[in-house]
């Protein structure tokens, strides 16, 4: 059985760990509230833009380069992970889904390139000698719309230049603080223009008079298409950020709870060991007294 001094050291170490995990949980909770607020503010805007594009798609010429479907010979997989760990299975689930997708595409004879957002995904795919094209790191906690514009512009330029024929994104979609869903979605080409909230429009809204577009429907449509890609990237960034902080908050809460359980077990072990030591000393004293009679 470990000595009293060793058990006291273990209790002190676990208490220090509990303080760290408790502080990390509080920091993650504050970051989560901010990222969740930004994500909820963007969702209606993104849905409305998709709705406008869906309405325009029936009355314009669809000759835009971002709408052109080519034979799928080369596919770009864009993976959204975090820059840091200590967030449970957040990064692991994303990387498993991305790895599975890459294997499936490769089995079909497709040439796959990988781009990553986040240090964890970048490190993994470099270790696995994947065909890495681009990586963006250091965005966690400080995502801006300019980041989404940079990523979107890079993807659009390479798609138009036929570096690849399709772009697929893999990210964690935020459902609730306890649930994050790994989502795979085709970003390019823009094959279907539908809005998530389109079916919820009531009959009064559908019967409104036709909206007038300036300078023209075609011009608005062609301007919004690349902007829609930027919004989708920005949405994926914010969804991923909120999911990461929610996962980290839950992981740190579990770690704090486990530390408290371990402290209780070690304290009980310490008390038993101390009681055993006291009992042994009493037996030695009584034995010595009896021997001196």
Give the catalytic positions in this structure. Answer: 87
Q: How many CB atoms lie within 10 A of CB 147?
A: 17
CB 64 within 8 A of CB 100: no
Q: Indicate the burial class of 190 (C-beta count within 10 angstroms; 0-12, 13-18, 19 or more).
A: buried
- Check if the beta carbon of residue 172 is closer than 8 Å to that of residue 261: no
101 closest CA partner among 161, 186, 162:
186
Q: How far is CA 250 from the centre of its chain?
A: 14
- Residue 121 half-sphere exposure toward CB, CA atoms < 13 A: 34
Q: How many CB atoms lie within 10 A of CB 175?
A: 12
Among all chains, which residue has been given the structure tokens 């799928």? 72
**Residue matched to tokens 């514009």:** 149
**Cβ neighbours of residue 265 under 8 Å, at least 6 residues apart?**
none
């Amino acid at each position: 059985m470990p000595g009293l001094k060793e058990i006291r050291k273990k209790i002190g170490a676990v208490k220090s760990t509990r303080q760290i995990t408790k502080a990390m949980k509080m920091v993650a909770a504050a970051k989560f509230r901010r990222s969740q607020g930004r994500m909820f503010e963007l969702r209606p805007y993104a849905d409305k833009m998709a709705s406008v594009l869906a309405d325009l798609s029936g009355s314009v010429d669809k000759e835009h380069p971002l709408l052109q479907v080519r034979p799928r010979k080369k596919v770009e997989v864009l993976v959204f992970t975090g820059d840091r760990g200590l967030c449970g299975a957040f990064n692991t689930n994303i990387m498993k889904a991305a790895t599975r997708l890459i294997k499936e595409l490769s089995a079909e004879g497709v040439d796959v390139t990988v781009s990553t957002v986040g240090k964890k995904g970048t490190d993994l795919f470099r270790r696995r000698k994947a065909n890495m094209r681009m990586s963006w790191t250091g965005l966690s906690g400080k995502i801006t719309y300019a980041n989404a514009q940079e990523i979107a512009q890079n993807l659009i330029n390479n798609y138009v230049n036929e570096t690849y024929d399709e772009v697929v994104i893999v990210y964690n979609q935020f459902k609730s603080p306890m649930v994050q869903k790994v989502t795979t979605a085709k970003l390019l080409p823009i094959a279907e223009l539908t809005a998530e909230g389109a079916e919820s429009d009531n009959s009064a809204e559908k019967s409104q008079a036709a909206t007038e577009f300036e300078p023209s429907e075609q011009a608005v449509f062609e301007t919004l298409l690349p902007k829609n890609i930027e919004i989708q990237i920005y949405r994926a960034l914010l969804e991923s950020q909120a999911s990461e902080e929610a996962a980290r908050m839950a992981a740190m809460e579990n770690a704090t709870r486990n530390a408290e359980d371990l402290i209780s077990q070690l304290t009980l072990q310490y008390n038993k060991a101390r009681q055993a030591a006291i009992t042994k000393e009493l037996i030695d004293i009584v034995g010595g007294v009896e021997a001196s009679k």
